[in-house]
Amino acid sequence: MNQPYVSEAPAREEVDALPGPAVIEFGTNWCGICQAAQPAIDQAFAAHPGVRRLKIEDGKGRPLGRSFGVKLWPTLVFLRDGQEVARLVRPTDPRAIATALERIAA
């Protein structure tokens, strides 16, 4: 499931209109902290295959990340019907990620 971060991000309006559970993971492919976090993130997501996961490349001038106030990578924004329910910054504990996933998948 270790997919790369993509540079083409949806517009904020599209994100706000997403139905059901979704997670936006902001980071970059070259970020060592992002790479180190992937096993914990993948482990948590394995139990929630129905949750949409968008891995979006972030950085200066990237409007989607700025609209969410992202400052550090990786940042996971947990959404339910386009509304932010939880946020984890630089997660390392798969249990914390799983708990946030359960909040949006319920």
Q: Rounded distance, CA 40 to CA 100, Å?
A: 13
Give the containing element (helix H, strand E) for 76: strand 75-80
As given in the structure block, the two tokens for residue 18 are: 């997403």
DSSP 5-36: PBS-PPPHHHHHT--SEEEEEEE-TT-HHHHH
Could you state, in order of their start, the residue ranges of all structural domains in the chain?
Answer: 12-105
State pLDDT tens for residues 31-71: 999 999 999 999 999 999 999 999 999 999 999 999 999 99
pLDDT value of position 1: 52
- In this predicted model, what pLDDT tens digit does every residue of 9-33 receive, in sequence order? 999 999 999 999 999 999 999 999 9
Strand-strand pairing, 21-27 and 83-89: unpaired
Per-residue b/e over 75-106, b at no fewer than 16 CB within 10 Å? bbbbbbeeeeebbbeebeebeebbebbbebee
Determine the average pLDDT of the residues in 63-88. Answer: 97
The dotted CATH code for 12-105 is 3.40.30.10
Nearest to residue 89, comparing CAs of 105, 60, 69? 69
pLDDT at 23: 98
**What pLDDT does 106 receive?**
76
